[in-house]
Structure 1
């Protein structure tokens, strides 16, 4: 898929979404290091929130037994659509232009998209989009319960990833 087609695909996801939020940060790291940092970020407080989420997910009849993947590096970040990226699947990739991950369950589909843009003095302005589409009545109920925690976690992930993959704490590593 060409970059223009991927951006059109992202635009289509945004237009059909039930929820979209964007977190932005400026960094000196390349896109694959940034993505590795997003995935590797797992401080203790976030792991506790994920355990609580798993209890709620089990109660809702959703998938809940997630095991984190091994630590990623810029060299091991998946680049082939369909490959697993932690609990996501790679949906689209264009080097230094777009990285879209996808997760699906019976209640909602979620995309996490990383879009870098050149900044000043060699820096990169990253926009990280969360795109959610509800699949049934449970989708908005579930997402509205976790939404405040989602914002905290994704903002912290983005800030940590901007520092570079080597500085990101990873409990599963």
Structure 2
């Protein structure tokens, strides 16, 4: 696997993404991209499932710590969200509810009392320096409802970026599913 296919880029929210402009003034909005190999599958739902199935082990431990803290505050835990879906469920990807799907993008997320968020997994053609290439762009937008939501985002923002970057890098290193 070449470095070009595992390098994670910090990019702007893609204009064509369904999450761009979703919230008037999001409390968090970021996007990261990784180059897909030419023979990678082009189904955004399968790419998203692969991405979440191949996360580094430390992310699961971090989510366990998050659950222990937020569960005491009455917020939804990953464990609770996983009980909402069966292994064969097509309504969720990992712990996230599916909000929209198209040929190039899947929008996932959750609503809670403190905030609403959406994740976009979008295939986008971008200039790669050596011509046009297909990229997977992972975008996140968050709208906070109250002070707890704003505090939560402030606390998790650095971890969020590490998790997203690590997840994209890990999936690229494992090797995206191919056609």
Classify the TM-score, shorter chain.
0.7 to 0.9
- Cα shift readout 1:145-166 (whole Å, capped 9, x = no counterpart): 1111111111111122333159
Contact kept, 8 Å, 1:23 with 1:155, in 2: the verdict is: yes
Q: SS at the partner of 1:90?
A: strand
- Deviation of 1:53 (Å): 0.3
Matched with 2:142 is 132
- Structure 2: runs of 5+ lacking an equivalent: 1-15
- Deviation of 1:35 (Å): 1.2
Q: SS at the partner of 1:62?
A: coil
Root mean square deviation of aligned Cα: 2.8
Q: Which contiguous aligned blocks of 4+ residues in structure 1 show a shift greater than 3 angstroms?
A: 67-71, 119-123
- Deviation of 1:10 (Å): 2.8
Matched with 2:52 is 39
Q: Does 1:93 align with 2:101?
A: yes
Contact kept, 8 Å, 1:18 with 1:132, in 2: the verdict is: yes
Distance 1:36 1:160 in 2: 13
Matched with 1:64 is 77
Distance 1:65 1:25 in 2: 26
- Deviation of 1:91 (Å): 1.0
Distance 1:98 1:65, change over 3 A: closer
Matched with 2:64 is 51
Distance 1:105 1:41, change over 3 A: farther
Aligned residues: 152
Distance 1:65 1:112, change over 3 A: closer
- Deviation of 1:14 (Å): 5.2
TM-score (norm 1): 0.74
Distance 1:15 1:126 in 2: 25
